[in-house]
Structure 1
Amino acid sequence: MGTLSGGRDRYVDFLRAWAIVLVVFGHWLITGLVRDPNGTISAPELLATVHWTQWLTLGFQIMPLFFLAGGHAAGGSWARARNEGRTAAGWVGQRALRLLLPAGVYSGLVLLAVAVCSAVGVDPGILALVGWAMAMQFWFLPVYLLLSAATPLLHAAHRRWGLRVPVVMGAVALVADALVVGLHAPVVGLLNYVLVWGVAYQLGFCWRDMLIAERSGLPACMAVGGALAFGALVTFGPFPVSLILVTGQSPSNTNPPSAAMLAWVVGQVGVALVVAPVLRRVLERERLWRVARPLGGVSMTLYLWHMLPVLVVAAGFYLTGIAPEPGYGSGGWWVLRVPWVVVLGVLLVGVVGVLGPLERGLSAVYEWTRPGDLPRRPWALGLGLVSSVSALVWFAGHGFAYGGRFPVVPAVGLVVGVGLVMVTGRSSVGRGVRLTSV
């Protein structure tokens, strides 16, 4: 097994930050607002309205890199924990809480706003639209949470079978997708959320342990093979070119992840490994790294909160009629995408700054409540993960105000889930020592 170098750590952090930045930029680019004659704001779906824009998703569907980097980091973290004799339950609890605390606070604040707006009589249609916009990125959270929880098992399989694990996962994903497309079995397709994205996650293990050497021919074969397979599936198969969900499009490449998405995952991972030596040398420059490094520290904040500036702009510029509105998708509309993105970027920087104290508070809460190496209530950890994942799946599919109503059941489920994960670590002996030392 190989060891990590500082350069590789930087490149992994860069991949994670780059993936988040492009996701944010992509969401902003395809989100267009229209002020209707009656004064209300709507958001026509650009990919469904201007069909050629579906090709743009080839540049912005970069989440395979996030799962690749996540698998690389998680593999190293679990390997160290395992060598130190720490338990799988304690490690999983800590990883889950790091994800659930910021997601829970974000959800709680959005749900509070939904409750207030509903109580004062905000139009249910507008509330549903806003609730969807604030949850559009949530599909990632339950998938990543499940893969994190399964890391000890996935890593054990990796240690025994190596590259054969992602190959088998990919083969099973292809069978599942064939059943979805051929027999219209959508329930089977749910497996592919874990299998397809799990291939990238598992390849992160292989990358870290040098089972895929960057300077060998394998990454180039993956890049070329993935690109050719994607092109063939889109050209001759039933799959669309869009790598983001488009309403009414069937089959979809993302809902559930398709064979074409699997090809894209393999190809993109291959490209990332091919260019790794060059980019690693670039990232060794301290001046450049000082610019890139902070993005990694706020990546979760950027991912969760990046649609809030859109609501601010909608209220400040579109409801008031100040914003110019050329024809949707016209040349003038695309020119105005530049100031649109710049304004949203400035606002997001402000949001991150305002949330600074909250982030520091969450870090303190995490230290108080994170599970120790021997969680006090392992059953609570399991139930908490099930409850949290279920709630996050619901929000990802329906938004925070489905039908213009407050979602009581999933809101309670998320509160209970996060609470159960937190109580597994309360009052542990190790934590008392740590807090005293602080």
Structure 2
Amino acid sequence: MTQGHPTGTSAGSERTPAFGVPRQRSAQPLAEPPAADGTTGATAAKKPGRDRYLDLLRTIALVRVVVYHLFGWAWLTVLFPSMGVMFALAGSLMARSLKRPALGVIRGRIRRLLPPLWVFGAVVLTLMFAGGWNVLDDPDHGGALGVVELLNYIVPLGAPPFPWSVGSKSGVLENTWAVQAAGVLWYLRAYLWFVLASPLLLWAFRKAPWVTLFAPLALTAVVGTGLVSIPGETGNAVTDFVMYGSCWVLGFAHQDGLLARVPRYLAVSCSALVMAFGLWWASGHLGPDGWDLNDIPMAQAAWSFGFVVILLLYSPSWQELPRGLARWDRLVTLSNNRAVTIYLWHNLLIMATVPIIDLAYGLPFMENPSATAALDSTYMVWMLLLVWPLIGVMILATGWIEDIAAKRKPRLWPDGRKSKARRAK
């Protein structure tokens, strides 16, 4: 994805694996429904209510995803490996849910994921077709196979088709907007694979916890380093699965209390070594964006693994956010209740900021060269400021679909304010 700039090109920068398109460098298992309660890293003891520490992590991951896709800063993948963190949170929630019959749990997870995807897919496909794309004539997805691949907009087991160029460069959105919009869907595929595999993974974890925990790292060393190459989208999907597999299983370890049984000094020391290995590996395998770990599967897997271990080891059990963070309580609640909506739409909304900001160049005072130069120099800042209200509008417009998918009463702005008011009474 090219950086957004005053001429109207789209914002953000992504890497290339999944779906053969630039891929999210950052994401909760954003498709994972918000936690109903949480566990502490130290004791894994269940307490009623939500674990606000885990909610906070999810919010940080979402914000980091948006900022990363806007600015494309490679160092953000090191500062906070959002995808690894969020896969771990989803794994923990999945392990807790699998105390119930597995088929019902899987059906519930899929039900919560698909309706928001269907709305997103309907909008995106309508725009693609309106822009002149014909899947039957697409050189990459043509014929009957391309039509079959459209089913991935309904159930994301594989790679959804999309045009690399649609519309014109002088259009409202640049002609590569479809690549950026569909780029987020790699995560839904990986999440769905993990959900379907979780009963078997959890069984294996409880039979051989350490083998199951480290096996994905070992497999990443095989398929994520080029030692064994799996061609096409199958290779992309397998690499995604093993790269974040240990983080998902770490969620099991957190939920079952395995991490609590490891001496903290030993767990932190070993995690630091694994993270150091990840950075060392990255230093010798830098991609086109330098230290962007999303271009380097082995480094991403190792760094995310160690990072997540430390986060979960020091996981406090917050029924409420502490005083210094309390001001963000409503934002944390809202982002957790609308995580799928934010994740699905944020890339398209980043691109939508460009034609909106470009309208400012037509204002009368913009004839002054200094005014034009000022807007040019602050363009990305304006994009950052504008994308959040656009996300808010999308939450109002489509976020309630997450409630329907979860069999809850639809809510326009579920930031917890009414719930707190009722408790205060």
Whole-Å Cα distance in 2 between the matches of residues 364 and 11 of structure 1? 25
For 1:25 and 1:60, locate their aligned partners in 2 and report how far apart those are by CA, in whole Å.
Answer: 12
User: Which residue of structure 2 lines up, in the alignment, with residue 123 of structure 1?
Assistant: 167
Rounded Cα–Cα distance in structure 1 between residues aligned with 2:47 and 2:322: 12
Give yes or no for the alignment of 1:216 onto 2:264: yes
The letter for the 2-side match of 1:70 is A
Once the two structures are TM-superposed, the CA of residue 153 in structure 1 deviates from its matched residue by 0.7
Tell me which of 267, 280, 283 is aligned to 2:321. Answer: 283
Counterpart CA distance in 1 for 2:66 and 2:276 is: 28
Q: Give the alignment of 1:60-99 within 5 angstroms.
A: 61-79=81-99, 81=100, 86=101, 88-99=102-113
1:362 positional shift:
4.5
Partner of 1:149: 196
Query: Does the residue aligned with 1:242 lie in a helix, a strand or coil?
Result: coil
CA distance, structure 2, for counterparts of residue 366 and residue 108 of structure 1: 23
Partner residue of 1:243 out of 259, 276, 292: 292
* TM-superposition CA deviations, 1:140-173 (whole Å, max 9, x none): 1100000001111111111111232111221122
CA contact (8 A) 1:200 1:266 kept: yes
Q: From the superposition, tell whether residues 244 and 304 of structure 1 become closer, same or farther in structure 2 (CA, over 3 Å).
A: farther
Q: 293-302 or 107-116: which moved more?
A: 107-116
- 1:297 CA drift (Å): 0.2
User: Contact 1:215–1:274 at 8 Å: present in 2 too?
Assistant: no
Match of 1:228 among 276, 288, 302: 276
In 2, distance between residues paired with 1:281 and 1:93? Answer: 29
- The counterpart of 1:293, out of the listed 329, 333, 353, is 333
Note the alpha carbon deviations across 1:317-363, whole angstroms, 9 max, x for none: 33774599x9xxx9996754333211111221122122245445545
Residue 310 of structure 2 aligns with an amino acid whose one-letter code is V
Displacement of 1:222: 4.3
How far apart are 1:72 and its partner, in Å? 0.6
User: Would the alpha carbon gap of residues 186 and 332 (structure 1) be closer, same or farther in structure 2, given more than 3 Å must change?
Assistant: farther
Partner Cα distance (1:356, 1:190) in 2: 28
The equivalent position to 1:316 in structure 2, one of 335, 356, 376, is 356
Q: Which amino acid counterpart does residue 221 of structure 1 have in structure 2?
A: S
Q: Which residue identity does 1:345 align to in structure 2?
A: W
The residue identity in structure 1 corresponding to 2:340 is M
What SS class does the counterpart of residue 106 from structure 2 fall into? helix
The 2-side partners of 1:290 and 1:281 are apart by 14
Cross-structure match for 1:33: none
Equivalent-residue separation in structure 2 for 1:334 and 1:198 (angstroms): 42
Matched residues in 1 for 2:212 and 2:119: separation? 36
Name the residue aligned to 1:9.
51
8 Å contact 2:357–2:382 — kept in the other structure? no
Using the alignment, how far apart are the partners of 2:263 and 2:228 within structure 1?
A: 42
Q: Which amino acid aligns with 2:182?
A: A
Paired residue for 2:13?
none
Partners of 1:11 and 1:103 in 2: how far apart? 27
Conserved? CA contact 1:67–1:197, under 8 Å: yes
Stretches of structure 2 lacking an aligned partner (at least 5 in a row)? 1-42, 134-165, 411-425
Q: Return the offset for 1:244.
A: 5.7
> What is the letter of the counterpart of residue 118 of structure 2?
G
* Higher share in helix: 1
What SS does structure 1 have at the residue aligned with 2:285?
Answer: coil
SS at structure 2 position matched to 1:123: coil
Measured in 2, the distance between the counterparts of 1:322 and 1:155 equals 59
Counterpart-to-counterpart distance in 1, 2:377 and 2:309? 32
Alignment-derived partner of residue 19 in structure 1: 61
**Counterpart in 2 of 1:264?**
303
Q: 1:230 deviation in Å?
A: 1.8
Instruction: Report the CA distance shift for 1:347/1:221 in structure 2 as closer, same or farther (over 3 A).
Output: same
- The 1:344/1:70 distance shift into structure 2, 3 A limit, reads same
Aligned position for 1:374: none
Q: How does 1:348-427 map to 2 (within 5 A)?
A: 348-363=391-406
Q: How many percent of aligned residue pairs carry the same amino acid?
A: 24
Q: Measure how far apart 1:6 and its partner are.
A: 4.6
SS at match of 1:262: helix
Distance 1:157 1:128, change over 3 A: farther
Change (3 A) 1:137 1:299: same
Structure 1 residues 215 and 185, CA gap change in structure 2 (3 angstroms): same
TM-score computed with the length of structure 1 as normaliser? 0.64
1:159 to 179, 200, 206: 206
Compared CA separation, residues 318 and 288, structure 1 to 2 (3 A): closer
What SS does the aligned partner of 1:54 have? coil
In the alignment, which of 329, 342, 363 is matched to residue 302 of structure 1?
A: 342
Query: C-alpha separation between the residues in 1 aligned to 2:356 and 2:118?
Result: 28
The aligned counterpart of 2:183 is 136
Structure 1 counterpart of 2:157: none
Following superposition, the deviation at residue 316 of structure 1 comes to 2.3
- Aligned residues of 1:7 and 1:283 also touching (Cα < 8 A): no
What is the CA-CA distance between 1:134 and the residue it aligns to?
A: 1.3
Q: CA deviation at 1:64?
A: 0.6
Residue 97 of structure 1 and its aligned partner are, at CA, apart by 1.8
The answer to whether the 8 Å contact 2:66/2:346 transfers is: yes
Partners of 1:3 and 1:209 within 8 A in 2: no
Number of aligned residue pairs: give it: 321
Bigger drift between 142-151 and 165-174 goes to 165-174
Shift of 1:282: 7.3
Which of 128, 136, 151 aligns to 1:114? It is: 128
Q: Distance in 1 between matches of 2:223 and 2:402?
A: 40
CA distance in 2, matches of 1:128, 1:364: 38
